Structure 1
Amino acid sequence: MSIIFNILWIILGGFFVFCGYVLGGLALCMTIIGIPWGIQCFKLAILALFPFGSDVSSRWPESYPTSGLNIIMNIIWLIFGGIWIVLNHLVWGVMLCLTIIGIPFGIQHFKLMKLGFTPFGRHIVDY
């Protein structure tokens, strides 16, 4: 079932979200200082391409989203653009959840919002 939803997601706009994150990641990776944040954009791009059947979790026990370096990197992420990613997915998630047909897609935007809020110290898992 998640294959069908992923195909619908890609057709109905998920591909454009994916392309936006890939282009942002490439732009950030062109600078040496932006490489860690570019990698997080690629992580968001992967989840934006196939959100159904995937979830976001902490990397336990390797690293924690609340460890010192991850907190600093997540704060910098939020200040310099992460907040706009979170607000964008929040608005789209709420708008899609207003319709019965859009509820599954709205939930995926909330999942992307969760990863967009604190991408450092998290990874994508399949279920």
Structure 2
Amino acid sequence: MNTLGNIIWFIFGGIFVAIEYAISSLILCLTIIGIPFGVQTFKLAKLSLFPFGKKTVVNEKSDGCLSLAMNILWILVGGIWISITHIVFGAILFLTIIGIPFAKQHFKLASVALLPFGRDIVKD
């Protein structure tokens, strides 16, 4: 079921979301200051390509204070808007029965888009 969901997700928009995240990652990595944020958007690109069968977990070995500071900076610079976009698309998809699995994936992406530092993507 995960394979079918990933194929449908990929064809109907997942590839475009992943390309957008990858382009923003490359732009962020052009500067020294933007590299940590570029790495996080690469994480989002990887997850948005094939989200079914994956989950995000909080990394217990994360840098603690540094992750907190970077997450706050991420939220202030634009993470909140990325997260809101995924929540809106998830809410729209949740209105139809066939869209519920895809809405859940958007909600998963919204949680990572809000606080990406200190999270890992693992297989479900």
Range class of TM-score, shorter chain: over 0.9
Query: What TM-score do the two structures reach when normalised by structure 2?
Result: 0.98
**Per-residue deviation, 1:85:** 0.5
**1:111 maps to what in 2?**
108
Aligned to 2:92: 95
List alignment gaps of at least 5 residues for structure 1: none
1:109 Cα deviation (Å)?
0.1
Q: Deviations over 1:9-49 (max 9, x none)?
A: 00010110000100010000001100000000000000000
User: How many positions carry a matched residue from both structures?
Assistant: 124
Q: Which runs of 4+ in 1 moved over 3 A?
A: none
Task: Give the CA deviation at 1:78.
Answer: 0.7
TM-score (norm 1): 0.95
- Structure 2 unaligned residues grouped into runs of 5+: none
Equivalent position of 1:49 in the other structure:
49
Post-superposition CA distance 1:51-84 (Å, at most 9, x none)? 0000000112x226xx211110001101111011
Structure 1 distance, partners of 2:40, 2:62, is: 15
Structural RMSD (CA): 0.8
* Equivalent runs, 1:18-29 vs 2, <5 Å: 18-29=18-29
